[in-house]
């Protein structure tokens, strides 16, 4: 593809002036609140159209034109950058990339010896200034010449330590973003606070980085992609190395100082020798994009060697030695054709947008989250609106905002239900999230199906059809009722013979012996999935201890902040009658191997701050990743079971390899995680070796 195919052609001077206005507004919205109504593709096309027109009609160029300016000229700040923070030029295809590389090599008069390839992170550029090993200032990119001081965010950005192990003076440049998990957490906090939500992880990070007095705190993540000497008292020795080392080695040096770099992302920074290898690496990264725990909007290709970079130099806008290979936008405009109201297993009535299908990040999106009724009103959404929709990586597709200037007048109001769409009963509208007044009982089939699922009570023979029969017959209203079912009651159901009845009763009996973490997970308390339920069960040891915990005590569990803690306390109070019936039925209410907080006595473990027993378990303090097919004693274990095993043995299970990974268990057909671990020097074990280490816990 060539640039011309991407550009929006402009017919005359009036269209050119209009295009400049739209682009300037969009850039201001994007770099300001982070909520541009134009998606990236449309913006790029527009700017290229403007450039083409300006080349043909240099006499018409408007002073406000966004071309040739960093950030479209949208932002200014008051902290001057030591060296301008530039932008990157873009390519969109293998052909474009080869053309750019050939151009660079022509300029240098020799082949580029080494290229480095890394993800283009979709966040905000910041400069982190370290003096004598202490992080003293954080500055946004702003207009590239001067940025905004956001030092108040120091301490809330993972990967950007406040102190380095050595008293060095250096400026680290990189991207601040929210991972999918941090974004979900931030949205939950904001919703609990004022019922609104963030449009996408990028604008959440932009807003959070600037916010000075929010009553809640959201975490962000930093990945560095460059380092510079920091005048006036720059570190002579380090400055010399930064001027001489290849980019990929500088990333290692920065990582050694304890600052997270693009090298610590699951795709890392890889140095290769030829443009064909660069293209192959680009394709590998693009293929795993949807699985990354954060959004990327492209891949950055850099001439790796300092000498090549120095000779290539810079244009007014971007370095000539680097290029962004853009990937398709993860934010697009489509049409909102309907709104469905679904009742979840906790009785929450959630609106869901029905969209004209649109391709985003490797999949076709037809439905997207619409949060809650108040949020629909606040954003002024209407049926038939063009809306921006975002989906990247793990993030659930979401409607961001209506594109108001595309309205035709044919749009209609969205009607809100006045009765529960499932049971026709009353709706509790006192909270931002609407809920059926019958709560969990409204959608008993969904909550029971969840409770008996494989990762919770694992009751075989209890599929959805059976549960519907039991609910319709009035035999169960929740999963606690399962434990008091009689043989006659089950036999009385349609198509239920003696053998299947006995099998089902035996499976229900077996479920009583499940450890507390499974029973707790079965309750379906919001925000407590499998892994969180394991942490809670291990931390408290018994259901009594969990029920006795107040919000403060719950926050001692890793990953529970004030909002989640309060929600858990509230939901547990609501579930009290159900839990009482589980206790009465003889369901297990303790976690094997866990010691309740504060408990002492024979062999009693003391608790660390993170709520982990401070005993010497084989994986204590270790972050473990599993990849490939398991063999030997671990052959039959699912990924969930492997993760449970890791946590039982004191470790933390994680899904991606980074510099912080302590061990990779690599089975047969292990792919990119294995090569990533090898390049980072992470220890690798076979399933058999790992099984030997944790054999007491299998």
Give contact residues for ligand IVH (rule: CB under 6 A).
Answer: 86-88, 118, 120-121, 125, 175, 225-226, 262, 300, 319, 322, 324
N-terminal to C-terminal alpha carbon distance within the chain: 54
CA distance 135 to 171: 9
Cis link prior to 232 (omega < 30° from 0)? yes
Our CB check for ligand IVH shows the closer of 169 and 262 to be 262
Residue nearest to ligand IVH (CB): 125
Catalytic residue of the set 120, 518, 564, 676: 120
Using left for φ > 0, alpha for ψ between -120 and 50, and beta otherwise, residue 369 falls in: beta
Our CB check for ligand IVH shows the closer of 46 and 86 to be 86
> Roughly what angle, to the nearest 10 degrees, separates helices 562-574 and 180-194?
70
Cα atoms found within 13 Å of the Cα of residue 325, Cβ hemisphere only: 27
DSSP SS3 for 303: strand
Shortest Å, Cβ 11 to ligand IVH: 29
Shortest Å, Cβ 544 to ligand IVH: 50
In contact, 49 and 19? CB cutoff 8 Å? yes
In contact, 663 and 654? CB cutoff 8 Å? no
Active site (annotated) includes residue 564? no
Shortest Å, Cβ 69 to ligand IVH: 13
In contact, 154 and 135? CB cutoff 8 Å? yes
Shortest Å, Cβ 141 to ligand IVH: 6
Both structure tokens of 656: 């991606």
Biggest CA–CA distance in the chain, Å, is 91
Q: Which residue has the tokens 């957490």?
A: 185
Shortest Å, Cβ 616 to ligand IVH: 40
Our CB check for ligand IVH shows the closer of 171 and 644 to be 171
Our CB check for ligand IVH shows the closer of 175 and 607 to be 175
In contact, 198 and 143? CB cutoff 8 Å? no
Helices (H), 480-620: 487-491, 498-511, 516-522, 530-540, 543-548, 551-554, 562-574, 576-584
Our CB check for ligand IVH shows the closer of 124 and 519 to be 124
Shortest Å, Cβ 95 to ligand IVH: 21
CA distance 525 to 467: 20
Which among 472, 474, 453 is positioned nearest to 462, based on CA atoms? 453
Shortest Å, Cβ 253 to ligand IVH: 16
Reported residue count of the chain is 698
Q: Which residue has the tokens 């790992």?
A: 690
Our CB check for ligand IVH shows the closer of 226 and 541 to be 226
DSSP SS3 for 135: strand
Which among 382, 374, 376, 370 is positioned nearest to 407, based on CA atoms? 382
Our CB check for ligand IVH shows the closer of 286 and 374 to be 286
Residue 29: phi and psi, rounded to 5, are -70, -40
Quote helix, strand, coil % in the chain, to nearest 5: 40, 20, 40
Our CB check for ligand IVH shows the closer of 92 and 479 to be 92
Shortest Å, Cβ 559 to ligand IVH: 27
Q: What is the β-pairing status of strands 663-666 and 623-627?
A: parallel
Our CB check for ligand IVH shows the closer of 76 and 377 to be 76
Burial of 410: CB neighbours in 10 Å, binned 0-12, 13-18, 19+: exposed
In contact, 329 and 359? CB cutoff 8 Å? no
Task: Please compute Rg for the chain using Cα positions.
Answer: 28
Contacts of 386 (CB under 8 A, 6+ apart): 333, 334, 335, 336, 402, 403, 406, 407
Contacts of 678 (CB under 8 A, 6+ apart): 684
CA distance 577 to 667: 45
CA distance 537 to 546: 8
Contacts of 441 (CB under 8 A, 6+ apart): 347, 477, 478
Shortest Å, Cβ 686 to ligand IVH: 34
In contact, 578 and 345? CB cutoff 8 Å? no
Our CB check for ligand IVH shows the closer of 118 and 647 to be 118
Shortest Å, Cβ 93 to ligand IVH: 18
Shortest Å, Cβ 640 to ligand IVH: 33
Shortest Å, Cβ 122 to ligand IVH: 7
Our CB check for ligand IVH shows the closer of 140 and 588 to be 140
Shortest Å, Cβ 460 to ligand IVH: 48
DSSP SS3 for 606: coil
Our CB check for ligand IVH shows the closer of 48 and 189 to be 48
Between the CA of residue 546 and those of 185, 199, 480, what are the distances in Å? 22, 35, 18
Both structure tokens of 181: 């998990």
Element (H, E) at 633: none
Active site amino acids: 120
């Amino acid at each position: 593809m060539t640039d011309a195919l991407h550009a929006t052609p402009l017919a005359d001077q009036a269209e050119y002036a209009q295009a400049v206005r739209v682009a300037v507004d969009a850039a201001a919205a994007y770099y300001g609140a982070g909520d541009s109504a134009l998606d990236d593709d449309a913006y790029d096309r527009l700017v290229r159209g403007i450039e083409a027109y300006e080349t043909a009609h240099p006499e018409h160029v408007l002073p406000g034109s966004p071309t040739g300016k960093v950030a479209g000229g949208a932002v200014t700040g008051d902290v001057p950058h030591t060296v301008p923070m530039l932008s990157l030029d873009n390519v969109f295809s293998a052909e474009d990339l080869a053309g750019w590389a050939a151009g660079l090599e022509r300029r240098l008069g020799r082949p580029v010896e080494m290229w480095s390839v890394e993800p283009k992170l979709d966040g905000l550029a910041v400069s982190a200034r370290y003096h004598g090993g202490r992080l003293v200032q954080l500055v946004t990119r702003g207009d590239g010449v001067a940025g905004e001081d956001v030092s108040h965010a120091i301490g809330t950005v993972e990967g950007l330590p406040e102190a380095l192990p050595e008293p060095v003076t250096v400026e680290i440049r990189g991207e601040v973003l929210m991972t999918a998990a941090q974004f979900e957490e931030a949205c939950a906090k904001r919703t609990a606070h004022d019922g609104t939500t963030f449009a996408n992880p990028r604008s959440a990070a932009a807003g959070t980085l600037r916010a000075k007095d929010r009553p809640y705190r959201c975490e962000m993540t930093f990945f560095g992609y460059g380092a510079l000497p920091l005048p006036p008292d720059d570190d002579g020795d380090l400055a010399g190395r930064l001027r001489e080392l290849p980019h990929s080695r500088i990333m290692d040096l920065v990582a050694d100082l304890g600052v997270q770099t693009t090298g610590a992302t699951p795709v890392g920074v890889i140095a290769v020798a030829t443009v064909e290898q660069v293209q192959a690496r680009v394709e590998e990264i693009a293929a795993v994009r949807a699985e990354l725990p954060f959004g990327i909007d492209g891949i950055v290709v850099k001439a790796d060697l300092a000498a090549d970079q120095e000779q290539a130099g810079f244009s007014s806008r971007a370095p000539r030695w680097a290029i962004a290979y853009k990937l398709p936008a993860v934010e697009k405009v489509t049409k909102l054709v309907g709104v469905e109201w679904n009742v979840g297993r906790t009785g929450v009535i959630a609106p869901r947008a029905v969209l004209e299908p649109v391709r985003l990040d490797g999949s076709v999106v037809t439905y997207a989250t619409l949060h809650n009724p108040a949020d629909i009103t606040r954003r002024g959404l209407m049926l038939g609106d063009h809306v921006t929709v975002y989906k990247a990586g793990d993030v659930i597709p979401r409607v961001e905002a209506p594109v108001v200037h595309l309205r035709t007048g044919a749009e209609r109001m969205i009607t809100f239900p006045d009765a529960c769409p499932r049971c026709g009963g009353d709706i509790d509208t006192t909270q931002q999230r609407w809920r059926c007044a019958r709560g969990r009982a409204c959608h008993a089939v969904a909550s029971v199906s969840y409770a008996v699922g494989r990762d919770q009570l694992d009751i075989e023979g209890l599929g959805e059809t059976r549960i519907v029969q039991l609910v319709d017959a009035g035999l169960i209203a929740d999963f606690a009722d399962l434990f008091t079912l009689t043989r006659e009651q089950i036999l009385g159901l349609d198509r239920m013979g003696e053998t299947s009845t006995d099998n089902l009763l035996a499976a229900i009996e077996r479920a009583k012996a499940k450890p507390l973490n499974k029973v707790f997970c079965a309750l379906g308390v919001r925000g407590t999935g499998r892994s969180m339920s394991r942490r809670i069960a291990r931390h408290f040891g018994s259901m009594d201890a969990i029920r006795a915990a107040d919000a403060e005590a719950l926050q001692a569990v890793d990953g529970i902040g004030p909002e989640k803690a309060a929600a858990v306390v509230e939901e547990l109070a609501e579930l009290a009658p159900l839990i009482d019936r589980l206790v009465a039925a003889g369901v297990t209410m303790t976690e094997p191997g866990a010691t309740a907080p504060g408990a002492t006595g024979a062999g009693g473990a003391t608790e660390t701050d993170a709520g982990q027993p401070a005993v010497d378990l084989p994986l204590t303090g270790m972050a473990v990743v599993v990849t490939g097919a398991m063999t030997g004693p671990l052959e039959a274990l699912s990924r969930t079971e492997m993760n449970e095993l890791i946590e039982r043995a004191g470790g933390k299970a994680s899904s991606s390899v980074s510099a912080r990974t302590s061990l990779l268990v690599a089975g047969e057909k292990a792919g990119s995680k294995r090569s990533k671990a090898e390049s980072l020097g992470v220890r690798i074990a076979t399933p058999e070796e790992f099984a030997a280490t944790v054999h007491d816990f299998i």
